Structure 1
Amino acid sequence: MRQNLRYIIPILIPLIVLLLPASAFPIEGLTVIQQRVIAIFLLAALCWVMEPIPIYATSVVIIVLELLLLSDKSLYLFRLDQGQPHFGNLMSYSEIMATFASPIIMLFLGGFFLAMAATKYRLDVNLARVLLKPFGHQPKYVMFGLMLITAIFSMFMSNTATTAMMLSILAPVITLFGAKDPGKIAFALCIPVAANIGGIGTPIGTPPNAIALKYLTGENLITFGEWMFFGVPFVAVLLVFAWWLINKLYPATQASIELTIQGKFLKTPKAITVYVTFAVTILLWLMGSMHGMNSYTVALIPVAIFSLTGIINKEDLKKISWDVLWLVSGGIALGLALDKTGLAKLMVHSIPFDAFSPYVVLLGAAMLCLLMANFMSHTATANLLMPIMAALGTSMVSLTPLGGEVTLILVVTFAASLGMSLPISTPPNALAHATGHVESNQMARVGIVVGVVGVALSFVMIWGLQLIGHI
């Protein structure tokens, strides 16, 4: 029965919402179109939480339902009352379809091409081999080196792929620890924690960052380099804290360990092309204000070069994480519907947020996001909360002295990536738990503390940047 509820509830509740009269809602002035958006939003939320279908499939359903129920090219049956005051404004079908090819999607596609080429030509493994040399043989320093390399890779590669690679490198090392040595737990746990934290450092590090960029436009625009200006220091500070915490909770008793990573840098023309393209792309991202190209345009340069040279071929294209791109596009479409139909603003204005302290609102939003991100996909969490937070940030006057929309969006974005207390919280956590060396309660001890400290640190860092005029 419980299994059946997973399928029944996500359909039944949105259907009830669609059939209810507008007067049944506590929101004054609700239109028919906005009521349909509420139904789609509830369907998305319930499907992303209960997962009766894959989460990427939910995103596709969102876009299709918007085309059928909300667009100017929907079925005639669904727009018979068009033009009536209570009906609301239909959305452009081309705007809804454009979410599949949003600049945010192109940014992620470029990141995927870079990551795939780096893995294919062993740039990631060889960089790990070289960068880990200075950290010696003491377990705590080797662990710090592993966390640092994992975090750096996670800024430009999939967190899941980075975790899988680093855990495979660690597999023979972990077996060297004694059966009851806490160092075994520490080494298995440090990789997913570093991967989750590292993704915050760049706009392409994790999908919630890319979703946030969708709302940081115009006067609130944050470039790739500007994001890294505050993202990388945040990652560095939180990474050191996480390293200290893991060492404190699970100190290794073994005095020395030896990491052996085999391989050498390839010197073929294609490998050199990968190295140069990788370096140039990152430099162009960091120097956006100097050359005039935005990060979305730069992201397509490696796509063109790797396709032209055959570095990424049609077989490689099949391995791209298309599910992530669909998931993000569904979130963009959901945000578009909430914005264009005016529902997000209507919902925000119907609640007297200005009666609350802006500090309470910021902290409440961040902790809500952190809680949700521990139990569901980080991307789905960001997809659900970001459009509402964007509307709240622009409408809540008391937030203006604290940075308004930018501050609210950034603290929620960071919180979305800090949900890491359970094996189900993130794919890196699941991979680490699957090794059998770390249990759920051990993961929770570290994940909860790092998450809460991370949220507190995001407040401190963002307000510090406001004081010196960088946000």
Structure 2
Amino acid sequence: MVRPYLKFIIPIVIPLLILLMPLSAFPFDGLTLIQQRVIAIFLLAALLWVFEPIPIYATSVVIIVLELLMLSNKGLILFRLNESQPEFGQLLKYSDIMATFASPIIMLFLGGFFLAMAATKYRLDVNLARVLLKPFGQNPKYVMLGLMLITGVFSMFMSNTATTAMMLSILAPVIAVFGPKDPGRIAFALCIPVAANIGGIGTPIGTPPNAIALKYLVGDNLITFGEWMAFGVPFVVVMMALSWFLICSLYKADQQRIELTIKGKFLKTPKALVVYITFAATILLWLVGDLHGMNSYTVALIPVAVFSVTGIINKEDLKKISWDVLWLVSGGIALGLALDKTGLAALVVHSIPFGDFSPYVVLFGAALLCLLMANFMSHTATANLLMPIMAALGASMTSLSALGGEVTLILVVTFAASLGMSLPISTPPNALAHATGYVQSNQMARVGVVLGLVGVLLSFVMVAALNVIGFIG
């Protein structure tokens, strides 16, 4: 157990030591002063999120402020004295850093919050819980399975964040049944983000890394929507079963039966009808994005406008929004921005001599690197950074051809990008679940680390099997 004072000292001392080290002490050729500062900020954030000496959302605010002071073109002049020197590096635009507070993903969160608040206010969540969970009986583990299956299916076709926000609103009356110290609370809070993160792997549109991967799967390596689902859905089913078993084993509910007495009926007032119609329309618009041309972020602001204009969500309701979650996510986005725009992430990736290793080491190494990065920065940013490198690496390494070539490498790395879910900042669904207060960071990490590693191994076995039968490669 770490002593309380060390929780403050360690996160401060280690980044300071990084800042004081000469550039020649780092194992990266061409490292700049700006990139050195990003390493220090990255370590500070990681240590603060691990030890939690300050609230987790406060760490995100610290990240953004430090980036503005130390990395931006409008930062403290002390940190810009050597700007003209070649080893200084490229400063970030202050507006780009500040824009993380209003990133599209933040708007998606806001739309999810408005939907959840309206659903709770007009008892839509309670009635959905009553209808959707009824077939799964009263055993807690089967009720949880029901929640996971519903979440997994929705997340294959719509935003994982929106799915999580919707399902967590359904979850509230279910968790209320458990005692305050019942591990079942943790299990139910964890199952939703886990199912959302895994479910998105099942289709090319389920999660951004999948869509990014398709850009490089063309020509002879082309994989159609149906072909992706042919191996993506079985992977999701197996991972969903493993995650359900793991969560049930680690956080077994003390209560043997859940007496779900969810009573009531759908309200029929004008405002309630507006909530129902807006809720259904928003989900439908998320599902059929190709037909209307709007992305999920644009659609997310429709319920914000409708509920604000109609008074369904008033200024008192606005005070109840989990603003700390929005800060938490914006900090993760800002950290990914610094890693990407300063070139540090690319420098680290290119510094690893993949070509000198066996194809098995390359596959596992690339997947594990992607998994690690995806836990600390946006899955989309991770995929955007690694995918072109992996495509080029797969095409150039003749030793990989026996394992399916670049298709195998791209798919394994793509799956790894979506399996990074060990921390509250790893994915928006994780942040939403953490915001409920039912699950702590260390509890999330226990499940996320195991599923991430098992998922990487499973994806390797699955893709190798598909290559043997000639389905890919």
Superposition TM-score tier, normalisation by shorter sequence: 0.7 to 0.9
For residue 175 of structure 2, what is the aligned residue in structure 1?
167
Pairwise CA distance, 1:171: 6.0
Pairwise CA distance, 1:383: 2.5
For residue 9 of structure 1, what is the aligned residue in structure 2?
10
SS at match of 1:82: coil
Pairwise CA distance, 1:402: 2.9
- 1:240-285: per-residue Cα shift (whole Å, max 9, x none)? 4555778899999x99985322111111111111111111111111
Pairwise CA distance, 1:394: 3.0
Aligned-residue sequence identity (percent) comes to 60
For residue 330 of structure 1, what is the aligned residue in structure 2?
331
Q: In 2, are the aligned partners of 1:190 and 1:243 still within 8 Å (CA)?
A: no
Equivalent pairs, count: 427
1:398 aligns with 2:393: yes
Tell me, in whole angstroms, the C-alpha distance in 2 between the residues paired with 1:346 and 1:399. 19
Q: 1:55-454 maps to which residues of 2 (within 5 A)?
A: 55-135=56-136, 144-145=145-146, 148=149, 156-158=163-165, 163-169=171-177, 191-192=188-189, 194-200=191-197, 216=212, 219=215, 236-240=237-241, 259-357=260-358, 359-364=360-365, 381-383=375-377, 390-396=384-390, 397-399=392-394, 401-402=406-407, 407-416=412-421, 427=434, 431=438, 453-454=454-455
Code of the residue aligned with 1:74 in structure 2: it is G
Code of the residue aligned with 2:39 in structure 1: it is I
Q: In 2, are the aligned partners of 1:151 and 1:194 still within 8 Å (CA)?
A: no
Pairwise CA distance, 1:165: 3.0
Q: In 2, are the aligned partners of 1:103 and 1:296 still within 8 Å (CA)?
A: yes
Code of the residue aligned with 1:431 in structure 2: it is Y
Q: In 1, are the aligned partners of 2:140 and 2:257 still within 8 Å (CA)?
A: yes
Q: In 1, are the aligned partners of 2:412 and 2:459 still within 8 Å (CA)?
A: no
Tell me, in whole angstroms, the C-alpha distance in 1 between the residues paired with 2:247 and 2:60. 36
Q: In 1, are the aligned partners of 2:175 and 2:188 still within 8 Å (CA)?
A: yes
Tell me, in whole angstroms, the C-alpha distance in 2 between the residues paired with 1:449 and 1:45. 19
- 1:202-232: per-residue Cα shift (whole Å, max 9, x none)? 77xxxxx98x6699599479xxx99x97987
Unaligned runs of 5+ in 2: 201-205, 218-224, 396-405, 425-429
Question: CA 1:282–1:348 in 2, change beyond 3 Å: closer, same or farther?
Answer: same
SS at match of 2:53: coil
Code of the residue aligned with 1:382 in structure 2: it is F
Name which of structure 1's ranges 243-252 and 350-359 shifts more when overlaid on structure 2.
243-252
Question: CA 1:119–1:297 in 2, change beyond 3 Å: closer, same or farther?
Answer: same
Tell me, in whole angstroms, the C-alpha distance in 2 between the residues paired with 1:272 and 1:320. 22
Q: In 2, are the aligned partners of 1:369 and 1:412 still within 8 Å (CA)?
A: yes
Tell me, in whole angstroms, the C-alpha distance in 1 between the residues paired with 2:448 and 2:101. 33
Q: In 2, are the aligned partners of 1:137 and 1:256 still within 8 Å (CA)?
A: yes
For residue 46 of structure 1, what is the aligned residue in structure 2?
47
Code of the residue aligned with 1:16 in structure 2: it is L
Tell me, in whole angstroms, the C-alpha distance in 2 between the residues paired with 1:4 and 1:249. 30
For residue 402 of structure 2, what is the aligned residue in structure 1?
none
Name which of structure 1's ranges 345-354 and 299-308 shifts more when overlaid on structure 2.
345-354
Q: In 1, are the aligned partners of 2:379 and 2:420 still within 8 Å (CA)?
A: no
SS at match of 2:27: coil
Q: In 1, are the aligned partners of 2:335 and 2:377 still within 8 Å (CA)?
A: yes
Tell me, in whole angstroms, the C-alpha distance in 2 between the residues paired with 1:251 and 1:88. 51
SS at match of 2:421: helix
Tell me, in whole angstroms, the C-alpha distance in 2 between the residues paired with 1:27 and 1:139. 51
Pairwise CA distance, 1:170: 5.5
Name which of structure 1's ranges 127-136 and 354-363 shifts more when overlaid on structure 2.
354-363
Unaligned runs of 5+ in 1: 175-183, 204-208, 373-378, 434-439
Code of the residue aligned with 1:44 in structure 2: it is A
Pairwise CA distance, 1:352: 1.1
For residue 27 of structure 1, what is the aligned residue in structure 2?
28
Pairwise CA distance, 1:35: 1.4
Pairwise CA distance, 1:410: 3.8
Tell me, in whole angstroms, the C-alpha distance in 2 between the residues paired with 1:87 and 1:28. 14
Tell me, in whole angstroms, the C-alpha distance in 2 between the residues paired with 1:363 and 1:75. 42
Question: CA 1:320–1:362 in 2, change beyond 3 Å: closer, same or farther?
Answer: farther
Question: CA 1:337–1:188 in 2, change beyond 3 Å: closer, same or farther?
Answer: closer
> Normalization by structure 1: what TM-score?
0.73
Q: In 1, are the aligned partners of 2:421 and 2:448 still within 8 Å (CA)?
A: no
Question: CA 1:35–1:272 in 2, change beyond 3 Å: closer, same or farther?
Answer: same
Pairwise CA distance, 1:106: 1.1
SS at match of 1:281: helix
Q: In 2, are the aligned partners of 1:344 and 1:387 still within 8 Å (CA)?
A: no
For residue 222 of structure 2, what is the aligned residue in structure 1?
none
> Normalization by structure 2: what TM-score?
0.73
Question: CA 1:312–1:16 in 2, change beyond 3 Å: closer, same or farther?
Answer: same
Tell me, in whole angstroms, the C-alpha distance in 1 between the residues paired with 2:411 and 2:284. 25
Tell me, in whole angstroms, the C-alpha distance in 2 between the residues paired with 1:388 and 1:249. 30
